Structure 1
């Protein structure tokens, strides 16, 4: 303070606008103001974090006194800087019931702002928005309830200030009840003092009591507080009288931007800044003419309009702020890794949690949400205001088969009518009403025809609407309040769309409360609780205590290695923990050097994973219905086996692969003569009643050949020793065993009992999908003499018409995961019980613990070799874990001890089954071990934190 000249002291009260996207000339302008005028601070606007850091370092180096760096980041850095996080707008935050989340947001926002070299955030907005037509506050407010606004503001403020980022409550004395934007003209508020004191001022008083460091004064004309008509920014009665004297605020008082029309109209640059200082402000934001402002303030001091002592008191306050934020120990900020730091996974996860916590259900007639019964439910979605498939629609398809329609803002009457007619054939219509801009303004641009369709659908009993807009807009749509189910997300972000879809199907819960009233339709505080957690949620690894960076780095590395050395052309990997999908990626191409990249919804041939996905599911269900007994035999279900050598072998031995069965029979070879041609009665080029079983387009198998396969199994010799030898034989017979006790064929039984209710829409035999959605397998030079694409790879399964209990099932990782998660949940998924807990526990435990057979009933178990080294799973997989692998390079594994599901889908047999590199690299189990390492890393981190807390 003692080193500053009188003019340098005045300059400390001035903050100018800086940009990190305006180039060298702008930088020179700011440096000139710093070096010549000795300004006290800068407020950054548009740009990017790394450039901002480098600029701020240069500006600090040029400044005699460390600069106070500010930013107007109400919803985080994303409000101003490219490629940074946009947290929800305050109206969405106003719906949240757990204020601790807002505190955490404050902490994270503070860390990110400080990481970019700044010290002051012009936030939070504590205006009570009680005017739906407010054009400037609106969604920037926590709502219309003064108590909610105060509580939310205090939580957000405390989070930031606990990290030593100064904050300002704005826009004093309250900008919520205006219909004019102070950026363009001066709004007038005509309420009496009693009303202002009890409502508009309430949150300001509360947040001051809570210890906020600063207050920003708005540009408002409030006759009840100052009859002169000057903007509140220039009003001594409002700032010195009300704010300082009556309310006793001693913190930093900041003007709103001094370039806004609400204050500049009729006021000259420099002069208006002087008037703001005379009114009682401490810091001038966005001064347009710095030399003129210093000159005018100096004149005011010389004229006795304000004393040097008063100016010095404010300068000391500015310097005290600089000391409080740590500028007395200033060090340059490194731009290295800044993008990773400001977009760290914990911050990204917090953003999702805030959106999830804000989801507000305004209608839920007959407990429609979450949707429970999926089987035979024909579902459509309509995105109103969207030109292409939305993230909302993509997320809906994760849970069920949904046909999607879109109606853009300007949808014609003909297009609306076309969609209307198509929707008539659906049992459930899910509507998404989208915004047309980044900001959820109180406007609706949908064509009247599209609005009419919304009204029409809202009146039906089979509609769910999700409103991705400002809730005030609900008042502009006739009848939408009549919807069976109505969800409000407050804004149209990818997070909001994904989480709304998860809410609809029970992946997440909702308990948000509407922070504003919507005409006569809904009142502030409305909101119904909906309990989720019945199906998968899709989230980040951090939500279950796993490390995103570690998982992505190591799994990507291992998969890229496998693809590079041609162990597999590509693959899908899905990981779920605690019924949360925390990793789901597609890698590589359908075949080597292909133009078709693997997508997450592509279908894979599941090979022997078919055994646990078809046969075992069916047998466990029949076991519970007393239609299948583990001490029963094949002869009990298949009469032809009564006089076979397999007639008295119990299913316990069969399902654990110790029934002395041969491993396999190359059934296809029996169709060939010695010269390589097909036997005349086995295969023909054209289909017919006698040759209905399609092998390829030019190969059709005799209708009796499946019986020949069964006969060959029945007549096959038994091995001499009763020991573990993996065999397909029983699982080839399993469909017949199941059908012997049901009134449905095998695929229909599975679809009705499991896949349909689970929403596993891609799971099935002989998939009817475009070939570009199905990943090819081997080029078969021995039997089919063509690349295998769209049909089962296994020769035995294709000779059975593609339907078998040992191979033949197709699915993508997401749909397969639903069945396997049901197993992991011990029989329950989607709010429905499919199997009893005791059944799953019985079938998935090791059956002969005192022998060398490690198998469960149909399921594989963790198996150490003779030296004690585990070679079929990750070393850290628990003894309770179970799963299966498949010949095409598939691996699925479930670990109930840590509630972990792992799915690895590949086509390592492309172009040949002789490719064993995937096994040699041990890629599948190496990736599985990464999952356990990621969990251990979190445990170690938690332990370290606990030690630090105890030592502290």
Structure 2
């Protein structure tokens, strides 16, 4: 390389140095740094405290005096904001560690956005990600900078972060080899000692490097650690160790990228210094390419290394070889071209890009982790709940903002309330049974005890002994170790760090407006790593279990359904043996592309309600021996006595062989009739069927009378909503509860389902949470959103038994997963295995061969089949009119959920059925499972 041949020995040595620089100092400091760089022609700089504009201006000036363009680096693990003001700060890696595998793509996106920010200010090298496995709660320096204690998750998440930056055009750097996670000493202050065998290190600390090196990382940083099992020399330091760097990292692992030391000014290595330049010389001899932040002045270090070359301590060929590696690397990254001056005109906007904010907000949202919930959340009773905030003023402001959509009593006090404040809190909270306490914004450092005050902890526990308390912890999960016990606290949510968004998401989670999908990335005294109460079990791997080609075909097909106006939006979930294969949302609420459908969007699941609600309740009562399948329905419903409906058996209702007519259009008899429908609520008109539309209270009894005296047909299969209207009434009669209360008590609440509800607008949800259904031009004369689409169910309080349930794909999947697993969900039994088997198996009745008890059990054959040919014989599930379906296939371990609002804006024509997209997507998933 011509550049090398023209360089002096001093310049070659200088290319191996990256020196400290800051953009917050005086102009005199700036001039000194510019002169230093121009004089010595160092290889790079590392920026610390500053601001984007100041740094960009200074970068332009130092690049202008460099013959070989500089490495412009930063220690920006959560983006440039780790060092610079006035830009978006991304979450710490422990927060990323809480993300489930299905949301790990956000880490890649974060890497891309961090790269954009770096490029905007002229940075070309970011010392991230940290791939240390933090399994020591007392670690004073890594801690929340790590993805956690699970080696596979650390490896997978580190790969995504690294690749995101690389694809964004920025050099990344894995650190701190060979692993800094299990230490109790800060290497800035002393030398950490790791007393582990090589076998133990291979199993944990070294694991990420072994698996990431094949991905060709650009750079690896070596930490300052004493590990006798890797280098038995007395007081050996890994950053100066030939056995660790050259023999292990280079030779054994085959790493060919650049190797850089951790900062050589740190006391962990400086305490080994015998003379100026000593540790820099040792690092080069150990096999390092780049010396980060030398411990002595630049000129002194260069001269010390030059002297070592001259006296034969360091072969000059070594300097030439290392310098050539650096220059060739710079060339491969386009860094030898004269850099264009940074344009500062729109710099602040670039550092606060809306897309970066979106990624940031979604990471914070999906990281929220529910580690405990003893049936306190989601909150429902407005009159018994109070909110307490213990923290700084900025936490108070954020809490008030988060609660603005809710109308609850709230109280704001200092993070360490005085005795007087504590008494004020006791008095203010005395009328309330439940208290949600937001606590934290705490320090992330173990050495400072995470800023947890023991008196405050004792006070929180005092409140928990007297009331139902939910704790929102806005900080490092290790801080919970300072709580002697969490037994009295009913619910615990961890948000990992305080931002207004994390607090807002946590508050929404308390009300069930968003699911807690995070998993604890580290173990605490109270909860093991991996704890997380979530609606469905997630596939915890680095890639989808479905081949990429299948995923791409699914994506294309489901998007085409939107383009062809088959449905405005949909969510599809596929699970294999309880692990998520595919879970994606497409489209918007309507075709005007305003409200985006997400995996948390609630859908009106129409007749799937028959299985996910009514049949579920019937199964529970059957399990409890409250009725027999051969019992006549008239035994439980007095209004049927004396009619030909009284002797219909419960089994006949469940299999649609009762002889009841398919449908009675009750709504057509009353639409537009003020005798039955009014615009305003009143004591006699209190059943809300839509916005500004209330039904007369006694009309449901009129409908019951109509059913009782309708014409009864022959006992053969005919699908009828009326069967499930009667079953719903039976459930309420036997249980003594509304069907909604019965289901919440026995299934939805203990299962942790927070977005499953009848009449969602009555339970704290907003229209923005719920996909609309039809533009009803005849009956309700409005877009139906948040109210059940089915007219009969709407007139029966929104929960007639045949339709009315709203839920997400994930939570519907959780219900079916429980049934799929023989009545068990997350270790708790809800139904007996015998009852599940009986109801989900084809139940021959009056010649019908395709119905279980409540469930549809179709045959997978023929061109008219609604399930794939590869489906097993035991498949069961149900379809819904609004564009929904769920199928469970025990033979193949497959669960499939498809939710859409295909009825928007009109029910007909039914393009979804005509296109067979639900079936085709299902078939593709089976194809993806074929070996």
TM bucket, shorter chain:
0.5 to 0.7
State the Cα distance separating 1:434 from its structure 2 match. 3.3
CA–CA separation in structure 2 for the residues paired with 1:648 and 1:733? 13
Q: What per-residue deviation string (whole Å, max 9, x for no partner) do you get for residues 621-665 of structure 1?
A: 111122222233323333554554445544334322233332112
Cα distance change on mapping 1:536 and 1:628 into 2, 3 Å? same
Match of 2:134 among 83, 92, 107: 92
Q: What per-residue deviation string (whole Å, max 9, x for no partner) do you get for residues 61-118 of structure 1?
A: x999xx9999888969999975369645747365665556666778778878988797
SS at match of 1:757: coil
State the Cα distance separating 1:881 from its structure 2 match. 2.9
Cα distance change on mapping 1:610 and 1:418 into 2, 3 Å? farther
Say whether the 8 Å CA contact 1:573–1:586 is kept in structure 2: yes
The residue aligned with 1:298 is none
> Larger deviation: 820-829 or 849-858?
849-858
Cα distance change on mapping 1:929 and 1:430 into 2, 3 Å? farther
Match of 1:709 among 696, 703, 714: 703
Say whether the 8 Å CA contact 2:226–2:236 is kept in structure 1: no
CA–CA separation in structure 1 for the residues paired with 2:495 and 2:680? 57
The residue aligned with 1:211 is 248
The residue aligned with 2:113 is 83
Does structure 1 residue 263 correspond to structure 2 residue 296? yes
The residue aligned with 2:739 is 746
State the Cα distance separating 1:530 from its structure 2 match. 6.4
The residue aligned with 2:767 is 772
SS at match of 2:899: strand
The residue aligned with 2:879 is 885
Q: What per-residue deviation string (whole Å, max 9, x for no partner) do you get for residues 646-704 of structure 1?
A: 455443343222333321122234458xxx867x6x66777777666555677665555
In the superposition, the TM-score normalised over structure 1's length comes to: 0.64
State the Cα distance separating 1:737 from its structure 2 match. 1.7
State the Cα distance separating 1:833 from its structure 2 match. 1.7
CA–CA separation in structure 2 for the residues paired with 1:107 and 1:562? 34
Cα distance change on mapping 1:841 and 1:137 into 2, 3 Å? farther
Q: What per-residue deviation string (whole Å, max 9, x for no partner) do you get for residues 455-481 of structure 1?
A: 632555466767665689899xxx755
State the Cα distance separating 1:835 from its structure 2 match. 0.9
The residue aligned with 1:907 is 901
The residue aligned with 1:234 is 276
CA–CA separation in structure 1 for the residues paired with 2:191 and 2:818? 40
CA–CA separation in structure 1 for the residues paired with 2:623 and 2:214? 58
State the Cα distance separating 1:724 from its structure 2 match. 3.1
CA–CA separation in structure 1 for the residues paired with 2:555 and 2:428? 43
Say whether the 8 Å CA contact 2:389–2:437 is kept in structure 1: yes
CA–CA separation in structure 2 for the residues paired with 1:686 and 1:4? 85
Say whether the 8 Å CA contact 1:77–1:112 is kept in structure 2: no
CA–CA separation in structure 2 for the residues paired with 1:207 and 1:905? 54
Q: What per-residue deviation string (whole Å, max 9, x for no partner) do you get for residues 233-262 of structure 1?
A: 8344x677x889xxxx7534753334xxx4
Does structure 1 residue 371 correspond to structure 2 residue 366? no
CA–CA separation in structure 1 for the residues paired with 2:876 and 2:905? 30
Say whether the 8 Å CA contact 2:188–2:267 is kept in structure 1: no
The residue aligned with 2:822 is 826
Match of 2:795 among 799, 803, 806: 799
CA–CA separation in structure 1 for the residues paired with 2:397 and 2:537? 17
State the Cα distance separating 1:727 from its structure 2 match. 0.9
SS at match of 2:718: coil
Q: What per-residue deviation string (whole Å, max 9, x for no partner) do you get for residues 735-780 of structure 1?
A: 2222332222333322322233233344343341465344443344
State the Cα distance separating 1:911 from its structure 2 match. 3.3
CA–CA separation in structure 2 for the residues paired with 1:723 and 1:784? 34
Say whether the 8 Å CA contact 1:467–1:488 is kept in structure 2: yes
SS at match of 1:234: coil
SS at match of 1:905: strand
Does structure 1 residue 655 correspond to structure 2 residue 654? yes
CA–CA separation in structure 1 for the residues paired with 2:18 and 2:779? 75
CA–CA separation in structure 2 for the residues paired with 1:538 and 1:125? 33
**Equivalent residues in 2 for 1:709-748 (5 A)?**
709-720=703-714, 723-748=716-741
CA–CA separation in structure 1 for the residues paired with 2:608 and 2:782? 24
CA–CA separation in structure 1 for the residues paired with 2:673 and 2:330? 90
Match of 1:838 among 834, 837, 859: 834
Does structure 1 residue 272 correspond to structure 2 residue 301? yes
Say whether the 8 Å CA contact 1:660–1:719 is kept in structure 2: yes
Cα distance change on mapping 1:311 and 1:562 into 2, 3 Å? same
CA–CA separation in structure 2 for the residues paired with 1:801 and 1:843? 27
The residue aligned with 1:622 is 621
State the Cα distance separating 1:801 from its structure 2 match. 3.2
**Equivalent residues in 2 for 1:79-228 (5 A)?**
83=113, 87=129, 90=132, 92=134, 123-124=176-177, 137=188, 146-147=195-196, 151=201, 154-159=206-211, 167=220, 169-171=222-224, 197=234, 207=244, 211-213=248-250, 216=261, 218-219=264-265
SS at match of 1:263: coil
Say whether the 8 Å CA contact 2:809–2:897 is kept in structure 1: yes
Say whether the 8 Å CA contact 1:844–1:856 is kept in structure 2: yes
State the Cα distance separating 1:619 from its structure 2 match. 0.9
State the Cα distance separating 1:843 from its structure 2 match. 0.8
Say whether the 8 Å CA contact 1:765–1:810 is kept in structure 2: yes
CA–CA separation in structure 1 for the residues paired with 2:837 and 2:789? 32
Cα distance change on mapping 1:14 and 1:167 into 2, 3 Å? same
State the Cα distance separating 1:836 from its structure 2 match. 1.1
CA–CA separation in structure 2 for the residues paired with 1:824 and 1:172? 50
**Equivalent residues in 2 for 1:563-712 (5 A)?**
563-579=562-578, 587-593=586-592, 596-598=595-597, 601-639=600-638, 641=640, 643-671=642-670, 693=687, 695=689, 703-712=697-706
CA–CA separation in structure 1 for the residues paired with 2:399 and 2:785? 31
Does structure 1 residue 318 correspond to structure 2 residue 304? no
State the Cα distance separating 1:820 from its structure 2 match. 3.0
Q: What per-residue deviation string (whole Å, max 9, x for no partner) do you get for residues 589-644 of structure 1?
A: 44453855556555433321221122201111111122222233323333554554
Q: What per-residue deviation string (whole Å, max 9, x for no partner) do you get for residues 344-395 of structure 1?
A: xxxx9xxx9xx99xx9xxxxxxxx9543444797886869569689999999
Say whether the 8 Å CA contact 2:240–2:286 is kept in structure 1: no
Say whether the 8 Å CA contact 2:608–2:884 is kept in structure 1: yes
CA–CA separation in structure 2 for the residues paired with 1:534 and 1:583? 20
Say whether the 8 Å CA contact 2:637–2:733 is kept in structure 1: yes
Q: What per-residue deviation string (whole Å, max 9, x for no partner) do you get for residues 115-165 of structure 1?
A: 879798674376799887x6x848xx9977554999365445544556666
SS at match of 1:758: coil
CA–CA separation in structure 2 for the residues paired with 1:199 and 1:63? 37
List alignment gaps of at least 5 residues for structure 1: 23-35, 49-58, 175-194, 281-300, 334-347, 360-367, 515-525, 941-952
CA–CA separation in structure 1 for the residues paired with 2:616 and 2:780? 31
CA–CA separation in structure 2 for the residues paired with 1:232 and 1:821? 65
CA RMSD across the alignment: 6.2
> Larger deviation: 71-80 or 799-808?
71-80
Cα distance change on mapping 1:583 and 1:483 into 2, 3 Å? same
Cα distance change on mapping 1:895 and 1:541 into 2, 3 Å? farther
Cα distance change on mapping 1:908 and 1:836 into 2, 3 Å? same
Say whether the 8 Å CA contact 1:173–1:218 is kept in structure 2: no
SS at match of 1:919: helix
State the Cα distance separating 1:849 from its structure 2 match. 11
SS at match of 1:83: helix
Say whether the 8 Å CA contact 1:388–1:406 is kept in structure 2: no
State the Cα distance separating 1:733 from its structure 2 match. 0.9
CA–CA separation in structure 1 for the residues paired with 2:688 and 2:920? 39
CA–CA separation in structure 2 for the residues paired with 1:556 and 1:415? 56
CA–CA separation in structure 1 for the residues paired with 2:409 and 2:813? 23
Say whether the 8 Å CA contact 2:486–2:526 is kept in structure 1: no
CA–CA separation in structure 1 for the residues paired with 2:401 and 2:809? 15
Cα distance change on mapping 1:327 and 1:612 into 2, 3 Å? same
Does structure 1 residue 529 correspond to structure 2 residue 533? no
Cα distance change on mapping 1:889 and 1:920 into 2, 3 Å? same
CA–CA separation in structure 1 for the residues paired with 2:181 and 2:607? 62
CA–CA separation in structure 1 for the residues paired with 2:626 and 2:603? 32
List alignment gaps of at least 5 residues for structure 2: 24-37, 53-62, 84-110, 116-127, 138-147, 251-258, 336-358
The residue aligned with 1:364 is none
Cα distance change on mapping 1:275 and 1:543 into 2, 3 Å? closer
Match of 1:758 among 751, 761, 772: 751
Report the count of equivalent residues. Answer: 784
